[in-house]
Amino acid sequence: MDTPQDILRALGLNPDTLTGGTLVARSPIDGAELARVHEHTVAQAHAAITRARQASLAWRDVPAPRRGELLRLLGETLRQHKHELGRLVSLEAGKILAEGEGEVQEMIDICDFAVGLSRQLYGLTIASERPGHRMMETWHPLGVVGVISAFNFPVAVWSWNAALALVCGNAVVWKPSEKTPLTALACQALFAQAAQRFGDAPAGLSEVLIGGRDVGEALVDSHAVALVSATGSTRMGRQVGPRVAQRFGRVLLELGGNNAIIVGPTADLDMAARGIVFGAIGTAGQRCTTTRRLIVHESVANDLLQRLHKAYASAPIGNPLDGKNLVGPLIDRASFDAMQASLKAAAEQGGKVTGGERVLADQYPDAWYVRPAIAEMPGQTDVVCHETFAPILYVMRYTDFSQALALQNGVPQGLSSAIFTNDLREAETFLSASGSDCGIANVNIGTSGAEIGGAFGGEKETGGGRESGSDAWRNYMRRATNTINYSRNLPLAQGIKFGE
């Protein structure tokens, strides 16, 4: 079951159909070609959106608990194929196997969550000021939900959006990253299996658009797409957000992060070091929740840095399919170049850089493996304020807690944040209104690896969207306020008398 072809077959894709296209899917593991995928034209994208629109009209009338059954079956199908899909994520995105499978587990978890939600799409009942009246809120599906996702979580991000959107009664049109078309096609194949077992799911309920910018733009600009949920860079969000707003569509943006961990003088340094290492070098620094900044109290800085350097020196880098490795490749050469440019800037801005160089170039001349870097900075310079999607950890020291908080909040992004401390006052201040300004704020846990049960997303340039758990489902529905008069009179609100 080890060749890419075997994996594709096991996931229900016929590898023969993945040849002759114009989009070349490559593995970042060794640069090898995996497939040549057929791209959609803009006309085909419009046709897919129309199919989805039609599907949504039928799906919205299916009772939500019955819709939940489709997600239950999708979760079951994913459980059966967790290993193969996880492996395909590793092959196509370069994650180590444990993280590839972990990503599929997130998909399973959100499906389970959606099944529960299918009986909990509650609205409020509100006291009316008028006698014989009742007010309530009803939640209805939006119609078509567009999903734009990035290479680094090529399957989970779709599932967070799709599971909620579907259970809420919408159809979904997905534009995956051009770097990861195979995992997207595999998800569609697994969805088709679940839909078949479900029986009467309307055709077009889940569509995928393979291609580049033009098909993405078709999705963004289509008036038939009620909500565009986009995950990726701040640059992408700056383009997508205003375009969707221009047509008064809704957006849900999950953009760049620049996540910091504060380590206070009372912290358990062993735990902190483990949290920082997982957050900073896991997924080769290519998570939006990756730990990019370490803000450490001067009294423990040397001790902590020593532990980090030791862990960095022994972290095995290499083929992510080999279970012993912890750090896989960067996605491509552009990513490597961006990392080198940032390290150069860090040095120019007074940083002391260790690591960051290319490794395994002889063995993998067409792949981009790097040693994760630590850059001790004299302060929060320009480069530190910028998200580079690579394993670079900028380290800054502080003296006063207020200074640490100011550094934590002093960047344009606001996704994830954490503090390691055993001081109750520091922990609670960090979580308070005047503490971390991020969408995620953790105590004695790192910045990455959030569970699906909480709302996921962040503030400022991160875009403000919330996906996944808690009440994020509301993003995928429209709210109607209903006032019902069961009296024989017609009193007006605010006590207005009109011609009486």
Q: Note whether 287 binds ligand UN1 by CB under 6 A.
A: yes
Residue 141 beta carbon to ligand UN1: minimum distance, rounded to whole angstroms: 25
Encoded one letter per residue, x for contact with ligand UN1 by CB under 6 A and - for no contact, window 220-239 reads -----------x--------
Residue 456 beta carbon to ligand UN1: minimum distance, rounded to whole angstroms: 7
Q: Note whether 95 binds ligand UN1 by CB under 6 A.
A: no
Q: Note whether 153 binds ligand UN1 by CB under 6 A.
A: yes
Which of 90, 152, 177, 259 binds ligand UN1 (CB under 6 A)? It is: 152
Q: Note whether 450 binds ligand UN1 by CB under 6 A.
A: yes
Q: Note whether 448 binds ligand UN1 by CB under 6 A.
A: yes
Which of 289, 291, 417, 429 binds ligand UN1 (CB under 6 A)? It is: 289
Question: Which residue in 99, 288, 438, 467 is the catalytic one?
Answer: 288
| Residue 111 bears catalytic tag | no
**With respect to ligand UN1, which residue has the nearer C-beta, 152 or 388?**
152
Are 326 and 376 within 8 A, CB to CB? Answer: no
Are 266 and 423 within 8 A, CB to CB? Answer: yes
**With respect to ligand UN1, which residue has the nearer C-beta, 222 or 417?**
417
| Residue 288 bears catalytic tag | yes
Q: Note whether 442 binds ligand UN1 by CB under 6 A.
A: no
Q: Note whether 389 binds ligand UN1 by CB under 6 A.
A: no
Residue 253 beta carbon to ligand UN1: minimum distance, rounded to whole angstroms: 12
Q: In the chain, how long is the greatest CA-to-CA distance?
A: 90
Judged by CB under 6 A, how many residues of this single chain contact ligand UN1?
A: 11
**With respect to ligand UN1, which residue has the nearer C-beta, 206 or 289?**
289
Catalytic residues: 254, 288
Residues that bind ligand UN1 (CB under 6 A): 106, 152-153, 157, 231, 287-289, 448-450
